Chain A
Amino acid sequence: MSLKTLVEVKNLEVNFYTYAGIVEALDGVNIFLREGEILGLVGETGSGKSVTSLSVMMLVPPPGRIEGGSILLETGNDKQDVLLMDDSALRSMRGNEISMIFQEPRAYLNPVYTVEDQIGEVMLVHRKPELLKNAVATLEKNNKRRTFEANNYRRMLKAPRSLATRFLQRFGSKKTLKAEVRKEVVKVLKSVEIPDPERVAGMYPHELSGGMAQRVVIAMALACNPKVLIADEPTTNLDVTVQAQILNLVRLLKKDFNSSILYITHDLGVVAQLCDRVAVMYAGNVVETADVFEIFSNPLHPYTRALLESIPRPGKGFKSIPGIVPSLINPISGCRFRDRCSYALEICQKVKPPFVELKKDHFAACYLHGGSR
């Protein structure tokens, strides 16, 4: 595995301005994603997992606002800060560089369009020139190089925004382009292991089962070969046997496409089975990041430890974490875990522990383990 970092989130701060007060949803989040790895982002409800991933796409919904920090994205040779991009740069970044898969596949599919229409739309938005070139090539092969259709495609390639193009592209058939799109759609459906992709391409979302709908959403995310894939609890509503199938698919994607995947989940079993590295979040902070073997064998932060102990194991009863997740409106000072932590020190009340590298590749934010006291 190469050590090239694709996405680096530094000191990200996000607040939500609600009537009840300012919710400090993210309070200095640090994560990074390397090329070709699966990073698991673990935490309870409201810990800020989803807000982190939405920030990377610049999709934080109002009343949320990104208040500080940076999100560096590797594009070619230089690094760009997502937070400083303008709208058109963002539009081409989403889908091309980073794509996202959501929890509830059916809610993210439009019920009145077929699978082909919806995946095709993504392709036409992001990969139109390539598809047009393919269409022209096909027409030339069939000795139709001088037809109105071929000329139309050439015009769309050359001057896509000109008035004449926009006027003329309404006329004449676009059969070849549609056929090209369909070919690509079937190809991408095949890559997510959908049986009989030609038939599924013509189906509407209600005709798909839960597992199948999730595969379609994954296919849509892969439509433009993004470098980074963000998966936000993609298997939470699925049955275990289907979950096993989807997890295997994610593993295949990593192997075949060398995708880097940010996998958000609250299931530690999934993390152990799938991820290379793990970042644990609690109340808007990343409290610990390490290799998956390291996290499970040698957790440093007390919260990670408590989380691992809360996994039900037969014959041992159920260990719970005392207390509840604190409110993020006017959160407590210092370490946000301190009032549930059995090791809390005096300094934990005053100063937020810094997020430091304690061992190679093992970061934690806790005064118990060195850090600067």
Chain B
Amino acid sequence: MSYLLQVRNLKKHFPITGGVLKRSVASVKAVDGVTLDVLKGECFGLVGESGCGKTTLGKTILRLYKPNAGSIFFGAPSDAVNEINNLERTNPKSRRLRRLREQYDISTYRGRDLLLLRRKMQIVYQDPTTSLDPRMLVKDVVGEPLVAQGIAKGEEAKKMVIEILERVGLSERALYRFPHEFSGGQRQRVAIARALVSRPDFVILDEPTSAVDVSVRAQLLNLFTDLQKEYGLTYMFISHDLSIVECISHRVAIMYLGKIVEYSTTEEIFEKPLHPYSQALIASVPVPDPARRKESVPLKGEVPSPVNPPTGCRFHPRCPLAMDACKQKEPDLIDTGNQHYVACFAVNKENR
């Protein structure tokens, strides 16, 4: 299977300004060295608590934010990526490397390249009430990507809009209505139509179901799986609801304070999580079965501030397995076999 998206050591820091001159005094390390691969045609789940940098990671991958460091390869041939990796190690100043990066690494893209890239990657936000312009008709909301990208306009655009609206479960009648005339579930369908109208390859779903009710949630999730099959989409599904991610994703990454602590296939993650944080997170999910009650609290305390993350492993102050090594050195994401990557010294004992 080929990779659609490869992210290498991606960093996004937001400056905190202070003083009269508004100089940067500190920075929020929202995404701090993330490496991951997304396969073509899969649904990649990204899980973590609020403030861990899930959304920032998603937006940085889409280049809605400019990353501070790291590289993003989107649909690049694997030998090009390998060559870049090799050159970075052996000859980081070569002209060949620079040319390759300008060609394949989307973190260096500007202007027209970026515009063309947008056609291929889209996002569906959490709350459709705020992500849809209240003063635009559905026709214009959904048709705007077509016009902006120069794909179609006028009658042709309208035809494409109707086609996609029907596909997401709305009808032609929705065209001349405003977003406020729809229910929450329908509004989210409009947002999905807008994301899909330019026929992207990759869609980031940023908590798309957290603003709707249980019964509507199931309808939307079914729609996502159907659309994925039909258009051959690749998803990155960002959520804090582990029960949904377990059902919809093929692979899952768990994030904590700007870092990925573990990632593997969904079955591996949910059946035998290795990282102590993943274990605690999965144990915290309330199971809808009164016969399986858990009365203990798996994790004490709260997530520390990303301005001053703890030294070494970021999880060590709350970790039940913390050792001396965890306080000094940051563990790397290491394959424990079976494509199961974990960043923990207690798990990868030999790599301490």
A: which residues have CB within 8 A of B? 44-45, 209-212, 239-245, 247-248, 251, 266-274, 292-293, 296, 306-308, 310-321, 324-325
Contacts and interface: CB of A to CB of B under 8 A. Distances in A.
A314 B246 contact: yes
12 contacts: A44-B214, A239-B50, A240-B240, A241-B298, A244-B284, A251-B295, A268-B214, A269-B285, A292-B290, A312-B243, A318-B247, A320-B218
**7 closest Cβ contacts across the A-B interface?**
A269-B286, A320-B218, A321-B215, A318-B218, A239-B49, A244-B284, A240-B284
A155 to B, nearest CB: 46
Contacts of A270: 286
A310 B303 CA distance: 31
Of B185, B243, B266, the most chain A CB neighbours within 10 A belong to: B243
B295 A248 contact: yes
Contact of A241 (B280, B291, B292): B280
B36 interface: no
Given A241-B281, A244-B284, A318 B214 contact: no
Contacts of B247: 312-318
Interface of A is mostly: helix
Contact of A320 (B50, B222, B295, B300): B222
A307 to B, nearest CB: 7
Contacts of A296: 288-291
B289 A272 contact: yes
A244 B299 contact: yes
Contact of B300 (A240, A245, A315, A324): A245
B207 to A, nearest CB: 13
A310 B214 CA distance: 7
Contacts of A310: 214-215, 217-218
B290 A269 contact: no
B244 interface: yes
Nearest to A209: B302
Nearest to B318: A241
Contact of A211 (B243, B246, B286, B302): B302
A265 B289 CA distance: 16
A306 B219 CA distance: 13
A267 B299 contact: no
B288 A268 contact: yes
Contacts of B110: none
Contacts of B240: 239-240
A243 B241 CA distance: 12
B281 A311 contact: no
A320 B300 CA distance: 35
Contacts of A307: 214-215
A317 B225 CA distance: 9
Given A240-B281, A242-B302, A293-B291, A273 B286 contact: yes
B286 A45 contact: no
B14 to A, nearest CB: 19
A3 B50 CA distance: 41
B216 A324 contact: yes
Nearest to A47: B213
B294 interface: yes
B287 interface: yes
B149 interface: no
A282 B288 CA distance: 19
Interface of B: 49-50, 183, 185, 213-219, 221-222, 225, 240, 242-244, 246-247, 266, 270, 280-281, 283-300, 302-303
A325 B216 CA distance: 10
B215 A244 contact: no
A323 B295 CA distance: 37
A318 B221 CA distance: 7
A268 B219 CA distance: 18
B246 A273 contact: no
Contacts of B283: 244
A248 B297 contact: yes
B284 A272 contact: no
A247 B217 CA distance: 24
A267 B49 contact: no
A312 B295 contact: no
B268 to A, nearest CB: 13
A240 B293 contact: no
A267 B215 contact: no
Contacts of A251: 295
Contacts of B49: 239-242
A231 to B, nearest CB: 15
Contacts of A316: 247
Given A244-B284, A293-B290, A312-B221, 6 more contacts: A270-B286, A271-B288, A296-B289, A317-B222, A317-B225, A321-B218
Contacts of A209: 302
Given A209-B302, A312-B247, A243 B214 contact: no
A299 B302 CA distance: 37
Given A241-B281, A320-B222, A269 B288 contact: yes
Contacts of A210: 50
A266 B285 CA distance: 14
Contact of B242 (A45, A240, A247, A292): A240
Nearest to A321: B215
B330 to A, nearest CB: 22
Nearest to B48: A239
Contact of A311 (B225, B284, B288, B290): B288
A268 B243 CA distance: 12
B219 A320 contact: yes
Contacts of B291: 293, 296
A192 to B, nearest CB: 14
Contact of A318 (B222, B293, B300): B222
A224 B215 CA distance: 39
Contact of B285 (A44, A240, A292): A240
A56 to B, nearest CB: 24
A274 B217 CA distance: 23
A317 to B, nearest CB: 7
Given A241-B49, A243-B286, A273 B293 contact: yes
A210 B240 CA distance: 16
A328 to B, nearest CB: 14
A272 B290 contact: yes
Nearest to B296: A248
Contact of B214 (A241, A245, A266, A292): A266
A102 to B, nearest CB: 19
